[in-house]
Amino acid sequence: MFEWFLSFWSEDWQAFFIYITGGAHQAFYRAFLLNIFVTAVSAIFALGFGIAGASMARSSNPIGSTVGRLYINMVRGIPDVLFIIFFPLALTLIIKIVRTWTLCEAGTPLFEGINFIGCEASNFLTSPNSWAAYFYNLLMACLSLGIVFGAFAANVIRGALSAVPEAQLETARAYGLRERQVFWRIQVPQMWVYAWGGLTNIWMLIVKSTALLSLLGIQEAVWWALTKLGPPQPRAFVGYVHGDWTVFYIFILLIFFLMFTYVSETGFAWGKRRIGRGMLTS
């Protein structure tokens, strides 16, 4: 038994274990935390955009309601990946244009055809490895996920606000509550039980779309697996020599996402029981 273990523990295996606990792999393991972090921050952004969009769409102000409904319908009707790529590019371009107007000398051309020109000063965060550029990318990613899924959340919250029984609101008004109080004390607290299912679905969508962040240059787990660790490693001095291991890393990612969604679902089932306490729901 012990001899078998010794033969198993050959130098090849030692090298293998040293490799999978090395620097690149530690970065890969840490990148999963980045995925979870981005999911959480985007979910908070999405909830914020959702509440804002829903209250705008439901408001009596015609401009506000038009903007709210336009936001909801437009973002929901366009593929999310386009928006996820579009928002960071568009926001970066806007900042560059503003910088061109303020920092460059007057009369600097902005565009040649569809390419941005500007001057030297209109570029910002030019060194790609700086902390500022890293956080800028991360913020843009969270923001674009938040804007996209905020539209879905706004739709859910809008529906949930309408689903609160009218009798509850009328009773509150009969007790002499003002409209603001009716909204915040009766409608919003009761809204959550109707919104719960839809909002948890949006959380699942956000979890799954963090896999797309590698398209934005965020170095999360998918990026490490696909571009750094998976491809064949022919040179011994870089690390462990191996063939194409992409499928194993993708498999680890699959397990991660399945576990993440499973844990989320379990948590949501618990939350559903808790949130529905004291309310007449089936």
How many residues at the interface with another protein, by CB under 8 A?
43
Q: What are the b/e assignments for 232-264, b being 16+ CB within 10 Å?
A: ebeeeeebeeeeebeeebeeebeebbeebeeeb
Cβ(68)–Cβ(56) below 8 Å: yes
Contact string (CB under 8 A) for another protein, positions 89-118, x = contact? x-xxx--x----------------xx----
Pick left, alpha or beta for residue 118 (phi over 0 → left; psi -120 to 50 → alpha; otherwise beta).
left
Q: What is the DSSP letter of 224?
A: I
Q: Is 226 in the site for another protein (CB under 8 A)?
A: yes
CB closer to another protein out of 78 and 163: 78
Rounded to an integer, what distance in angstroms lies between the CA atom of residue 226 and that of residue 250?
Answer: 8
CA 188 distance to own-chain centroid: 25
Q: Which residue bears the tokens 């929901």?
A: 76
Q: Which residue bears the tokens 């007790």?
A: 175
Tokens representing residue 190 in the block: 């009761």
Q: Is 17 in the site for another protein (CB under 8 A)?
A: no
3-state helix, strand, coil in the chain (%, to 5): 75, 0, 20
Rounded to an integer, what distance in angstroms lies between the CA atom of residue 144 and that of residue 132?
Answer: 18
Q: Which residue bears the tokens 């020109």?
A: 117
CB closer to another protein out of 193 and 220: 220
Q: Is 194 in the site for another protein (CB under 8 A)?
A: no
Rounded to a whole number of angstroms, the CA Rg of the chain reads 25
Among the listed residues 14, 66, 227, 266, the single contact to another protein using CB under 8 A = 227
**Contact region with another protein (CB under 8 A), list: 17-25, 38-46, 159-167, 206-214:** 206-214
**Contact region with another protein (CB under 8 A), list: 55-63, 166-174, 176-184, 207-215:** 207-215
Contact string (CB under 8 A) for another protein, positions 45-84, x = contact? -------------------------------x-xxxxx--
Closest separation between CB of residue 66 and another protein, Å?
Answer: 23
CB closer to another protein out of 18 and 94: 94
Binding to another protein (CB under 8 A): which residues in 128-157? 128, 137
Q: Is 262 in the site for another protein (CB under 8 A)?
A: yes
Q: Is 253 in the site for another protein (CB under 8 A)?
A: yes
Residues that bind another protein (CB under 8 A): 76, 78-82, 85, 88-89, 91-93, 96, 113-114, 128, 137, 208-212, 214-217, 219, 222-223, 226-227, 230, 244, 246-247, 250-251, 253-254, 257-258, 261-262
